[in-house]
Amino acid sequence: MAIAGPITYYGTLPQVPPDWPGGFWGHWGTFVGIILVFVLTLVMGFIWVERRGIARFQARVGPNRVGPFGLLQPVADAIKVLLKEDIIPASGDKVVHWLAPVVAFVPVLLIFAVVPFWDGALLADLNIGILYVVAVSSLTTIGIFMAGWGSNNKYSLLGAMRAIAQVVSYEIPLVLSLVAVVLLAGSLSLNDIVRAQNIPFILLQPLGFFIFFLAACAEINRTPFDLLEAESEIVAGFHTEYSGMKFALFYLVEYAEAVAISAIIATLFLSGWRGPLLPPFLWFLLKVFAVFFLIFWVRSTIPRLRVDQVMAFAWKFLLPLAFLNLLITGVQVIVWQGVLPWPVIFVNLAIMVVLIVGWSSFFRLGGGRVEV
Amino acid sequence: MVLKAEPFVVNLGPVHPSTHGVFRLRATLDGEVVVNIEPVIGYLHRGIEKLAEGRTYTQNIPFTDRLDYLASMSNNLAYCLAVEKLAGITVPERGDYLRVIMAELQRLASHLIAVGAFLNDCGAFMTPILYMLREREKILDHFEMVSGQRLTYAYMRIGGVSQDIPEEFLPALGKFVAGMPGYIDEYDGLIKENEIFLARTKGVGILPKDLAINISASGPVLRASGVKWDIRKADPYSVYDRFEFDIPTGTAGDCYDRYRVRVEEMRQSVRILQQAMAQIPKGKVRTEIPLTFRPPVGEAYGHVEAPKGELGFYLVSDGSIAPYRFHCRAPSLINLTALRDMMIGWKVADAIIIFGSIDICMGEVDR
């Protein structure tokens, strides 16, 4: 059941998904190519964007020496890192240490398989799209734990322990806020979810977006939840013992995860490739960039939470709110038979404000020691 | 199944992003909780106290620069005061005013670094410290103007300061002092009410008042615990008795209070600078001392309120050109003795910010 509100923001939908020449294999080959080349280039570009952007936030210039505006800086870094010596700790578990970056990196690329860049332009339009994203993105954590374990380093192990605890906790509010989106769209396929967004779900689901964004930041270990690579505490966390290309892979994972989660948020809440005037593909990129900008804006602004506060925040704040959000959305979907009228936007915004303000006065992080 | 977990030892430092130099902390952790710590110092030991016994009184001034290298002017001042006390030298008025201006600028610079580094320890990704380094650069420009140096100035001399200020100094300083309160408000507005910052620092690493007095802590660490003790008021040196300023104190003695005290002290320093600039007289800046300077036999202790606490120099003279004993009372080292009482029972992340909130400088701790 798609939602057709009185307001259609983006005009009529393009009806027919592009029919790919060459059938299954042509389609498959094209998209594997796009994901491998395009996504990796995008990640490199976003690394540059973040470094320049954060530099502006911090009253400095940022990389501007290599190429125009320092655009080739990621390339220079990549070449440097390739030439570095690859060090494996003598007492480390060599196989696990070697495998860890690969195990961490592959799932991030796999996420892009179900992200629609255009109407129907995606590698696999799985009818369980969101479930696939949730399942695959969690695999990265295994790679991180392998890195922490295989390094035989106390900082790494501390980082890995934190990673497991954090990701397992934040998965629950993340999935619960996803369920509300699925209720509205009536489908698990990412492409169908985009097609259902005549009104972007960020307007119908402001609280859901809020919960999903915070939980996703914790999933990809971005500030204020960057505990597992907390520089001031445990040096570099799980990748302390990595050098050369293996370190570069972890660095790529960090940014590829950020790009992937930005793409998922853009698809689920910001109506993905839909938009007026510009080609859908460009709309998609713009939205991904907007979310990514928000992520590194947060990173350059606020300090880090402590490990027990992070856990308390997931279980005592996000989880109850996610349940309430799910309940409210469920009631709304039943009342309006899946077709939510646009005034609901204001109702939901009001509900979000009341819930967040109410809950924060009930649950406070301040005051020092928070027992979990 | 019974899970068996043992405490394990983690070496924080000497090479670690947040040990502010080469401090080493052997921490015993039970999971994330610190159950025991063992500070190891001495990695930056250069034997300055012994070296100073082989140099003349004037030659020792550059050594003091290298103690707390983030506050060289204050070190110069403390040493020169001690020597002047030993030999009974008076300083011309203009020299005294210049000393106060430099010492207060230095306090601003040191507190900027202290607060910025502390925020960095809290996990703010470089932004606060880079904002604060921006203003510190301006202060260093002023120091460069008067002394030609940006880190180790050796600007003060026994009997005054090495040279008068250039004529463009006071207008430049006036511009800086006029802008500084706005910058302090900018930082403070960003940090003071931040919920995460409050959650991380309020009630963390409490140093009780009686313990702070018992370990003879000084500076912001002592004042944050609620003790109103500032050498500038308690034993006024130079011309500090002519200025009007307050002593900011905390109540709880936690990391947040130590942050607040530093920020408020920066505001007071600006106040002192404004008054000093308005009052500064014309005249000589230095009392000439003989080239082979031999203070009479005796001993003297000169102390100042350095940015990190009470910095004192204890000098014993045997009538020769070099001190017989040169002892430095380093506030960083003495404040550091509270570390164990403040840290145990907290998590690793807290231990790091407790350490950062003391604001030590290893050059001074190890000497």
What secondary structure does DSSP assign to A96-115, as a single string? HHHHHHHHHHHHHHHHGGG-
Measured over the CA atoms of residue B361, residue B363, residue B366 and residue B367, the dihedral's sign is: negative
Final residue of a structural domain among A58, A82, A106: A82
User: Would you call B199 and A232 a contact, using CB atoms and an 8 Å cutoff?
Assistant: no
Residue B2 lies in a domain: no
Residue B3 lies in a domain: no
How many domains, in total, are found in chain B? Answer: 1
User: Would you call B195 and A366 a contact, using CB atoms and an 8 Å cutoff?
Assistant: yes
> What region, left, alpha or beta, does residue A152 occupy, with left being phi > 0 and alpha being psi -120 to 50 degrees?
left
Checking if the pLDDT of A21 tops 70, the result is no
Residue A371 lies in a domain: no
> Measured between CB atoms, which of A227, A234, A365 is closest to B199?
A365
Q: Identify the band that residue A243 occupies on the pLDDT scale cut at 50, 70 and 90.
A: confident
Quick count: other Cβ atoms within 10 Å of Cβ B48? 18
Q: Identify the band that residue A7 occupies on the pLDDT scale cut at 50, 70 and 90.
A: very low
**Apex CA A298: angle with CA A300 and CA A73, to 5°?**
50
Q: Does A54 touch chain B (CB under 8 A)?
A: yes
- How far the first Cα of chain A sits from its last, in Å, is 42
**Tens digit of each residue's pLDDT (9 = 90 or more) over B143-190:** 999 988 888 888 998 888 888 888 899 899 999 999 899 999 888 888
Residue A2 lies in a domain: no
User: Would you call B123 and A155 a contact, using CB atoms and an 8 Å cutoff?
Assistant: no
User: Would you call A302 and B350 a contact, using CB atoms and an 8 Å cutoff?
Assistant: no
Checking if the pLDDT of B5 tops 80, the result is no
> Smallest Cα–Cα separation from A184: which of A348, A350, A2?
A2
CATH code, B167 = 1.10.645.10
> Measured between CB atoms, which of B32, B130, B197 is closest to A303?
B197
Q: Which residues of B touch A164 (CB under 8 A)?
A: none
- Residue A103 and residue A207 in one domain: yes
> Measured between CB atoms, which of B8, B17, B204 is closest to A235?
B17
Its domain, for residue B53, covers 8-365
Q: Identify the band that residue A72 occupies on the pLDDT scale cut at 50, 70 and 90.
A: confident
- Residue A305 and residue A320 in one domain: yes
pLDDT at A369: 41
Q: Which residues of A touch B18 (CB under 8 A)?
A: 231-233
A 162-221 near B (Cβ less than 8 A): none
The residue among A115 and A340 whose pLDDT is bigger is A115
- Residue A214 and residue A271 in one domain: yes
Its domain, for residue A50, covers 46-82
pLDDT at A365: 53
Final residue of a structural domain among A36, A58, A82: A82
- Using DSSP's 3-state secondary structure scheme, residue B33 falls into strand
pLDDT at A9: 43
Cα dihedral: A184, A189, A191, A192 (round 10) = -40
Residue B205 lies in a domain: yes
Lowest average pLDDT, out of A54-58, A287-291, B31-35, goes to B31-35
Residues in chain B: 367
- Residue A75 and residue A123 in one domain: no
Residue B56 lies in a domain: yes
> Measured between CB atoms, which of A158, A223, A308 is closest to B125?
A223
Question: What is the value of pTM for the model shown?
Answer: 0.84
- Residue A182 and residue A232 in one domain: yes
| Rg of chain B taking only CA atoms, in angstroms | 21
User: Would you call A158 and B125 a contact, using CB atoms and an 8 Å cutoff?
Assistant: no
State ipTM: 0.79
- Residue A61 and residue A102 in one domain: no
Distance from CA of B223 to the nearest CA of A (A): 20
- Residue A57 and residue A173 in one domain: no
Average pLDDT of the segment spanning A88-93: 84
Final residue of a structural domain among A55, A82, A109: A82
Q: Identify the band that residue A19 occupies on the pLDDT scale cut at 50, 70 and 90.
A: low
Average pLDDT, chain A: 81
Q: Which residues of A touch B197 (CB under 8 A)?
A: 303
> Measured between CB atoms, which of A158, A230, A302 is closest to B196?
A302
Residue A9 lies in a domain: no
User: Would you call A308 and B347 a contact, using CB atoms and an 8 Å cutoff?
Assistant: yes
Checking if the pLDDT of A368 tops 50, the result is no
- Residue A66 and residue A97 in one domain: no
